[in-house]
Structure 1
């Protein structure tokens, strides 16, 4: 194994772990569904296939996002990952949730004869162990990255969709396994195979809810979100601290990738500065900003009088 390959595996351990788990689980679920005729097991098999495809798409998106800037895309391709994250959300909704609800409906309308549920229980137990392992990896990585922020706040602020998508998927998968187990048990306990179909529909509704939440987050990233407020304040403080800067008018940021930020600063420079001194000041500020916030991939500092900046902001607001 080359150093580069080993590095990629370490960086994407959550995605590779989830992919391996879902591939194994998916095969086992389909076998169990074929033997027992369980609707919820078939639904869970489709769920695992969709999840596997999602992890492959996210890995592909990460690979494409690392391409260097060029003449057509001067800020790079980092936001392509956000596009594939949105595609993943659509797939979960259209394929995962859609097939689950449809299959459950068919099983209610035309219930199949019950068979020995032992195979289902064995597969569900194995799937729970594998999904739990993947969920543990995703939870550990996300906990390490969220810092002191709350869970939901960290998800809303996260600019790397791979981490929270896998966490959402694995959480939905574990919930689906519990519901599938209850459906299989209740179908046999009450001698009514339609209950298994109802369980399949419930799993589909959970997947639909997860898809809507993921689509909402992915859409925000795709449109463009500002950097963390702490980053904005750090940039403002560094620029404002320079003696030759009379004041900072505004700091605007946008993520061009999970680890790349474009920042535009409007600052009021001392009127006594010459053109050459202003250029030197801008270079100094850029060096200080990159040292303090390495994720600043592009920095634009514009010397501007405060009154002009206020008029620009007002015009921008009216145009919006």
Structure 2
């Protein structure tokens, strides 16, 4: 909620500064902050909808609502942020006008850089708790919780966009040539377009259905193969039903000599799998006989 109101305040300040200076880069950044504000609302909406109880139509729950609304965030960032900034830059190229009172622009942009930097620092701190030894790019690619990658990329894009705007306004003020301000707006639009495409690609992958992490798959595999009642793990499949919900399906050959023993072995194995992973698991274990010719 703090990020929502912070982005809203920054957007209002940027619109006010644009009204005074007429800088295209500032208008692009103001619309960017509006998009970020709306995106925070969409992430809250997704988190709320994901908490709904399972229904007959959605027996595995609504966890993927968070993936869907994060995908919508990417669409908003591209349409409202990127395309508008590029359009505004091209418009100023065809109809140039000087920046008035650039000091106001410098003050607002400087304040926004400080606030966005604090937001990015907070997001980095939260992400580091989950990132482990992964690189930042690998974390964004493999994260199952969509909110942190969205916030990280938005905050990073905000700071880079502000620096581009600062450079565009500064060069225009020094040279008296509004070309640099227009190019700054176009640069911000291209930056937001790249971020939107990265986000859309990652969220699409989550919507289609990603498997558990390599560490979780290895842990589940180890639990099954080391169980004394298991003769052989025939196959194992996993898929995220939501950021913290995991579907586990396994075909297993057991040593059990009776139906009672088989039921007990399956129940024990399910409990062991749940202890091995952090996610809430929906588990289906099918007993079968291993046939090498089917490999």
Give the TM-score of the pair, scaled to structure 1: 0.89
Preserved CA contact (<8 Å) 1:261 1:298 = yes
**Aligned-residue offset at 1:114:** 2.8
Q: 2:226 aligns with which of 241, 266, 274?
A: 241
Equivalent positions of 1:94-243 (< 5 A) are: 94-243=79-228
Look up the SS of the partner of 1:306 in the other structure: coil
Look up the SS of the partner of 2:291 in the other structure: helix
Look up the SS of the partner of 2:237 in the other structure: strand
Preserved CA contact (<8 Å) 2:248 2:284 = yes
Look up the SS of the partner of 1:262 in the other structure: strand
Query: Is 1:93 aligned with 2:78?
Result: yes
Query: Is 1:295 aligned with 2:270?
Result: no
Number of aligned residue pairs: give it.
295
Give the TM-score of the pair, scaled to structure 2: 0.97
Greater mean alpha carbon deviation, residues 228-237 or residues 93-102 = 228-237
Distance in 1 between residues matched to 2:147 and 2:278, nearest whole Å: 21
Greater mean alpha carbon deviation, residues 41-50 or residues 61-70 = 61-70
Please tell me the root mean square deviation across aligned C-alpha atoms, in Å. Answer: 1.3
**Aligned-residue offset at 1:294:** 4.0
Hey, which bits of structure 1, 4+ residues long, moved more than 6 A?
none
**Which residue in the other structure is 1:8 paired with?**
none
The Cα offsets for residues 92-128 of structure 1, whole Å up to 9 and x where unpaired, read as 1111000000000111110123312010011011111
Distance in 2 between residues matched to 1:149 and 1:188, nearest whole Å: 43
Distance in 2 between residues matched to 1:257 and 1:137, nearest whole Å: 24
Look up the SS of the partner of 1:140 in the other structure: helix
Preserved CA contact (<8 Å) 2:20 2:101 = no
Unaligned stretches of 5+ residues in structure 1: 1-15, 315-320
The Cα offsets for residues 3-38 of structure 1, whole Å up to 9 and x where unpaired, read as xxxxxxxxxxxxx33222211100000000001111
Unaligned stretches of 5+ residues in structure 2: none
The Cα offsets for residues 124-176 of structure 1, whole Å up to 9 and x where unpaired, read as 11111111111111111111110111211111110011001011001011001
**Which residue in the other structure is 2:49 paired with?**
64
Q: 1:80 aligns with which of 49, 53, 65?
A: 65
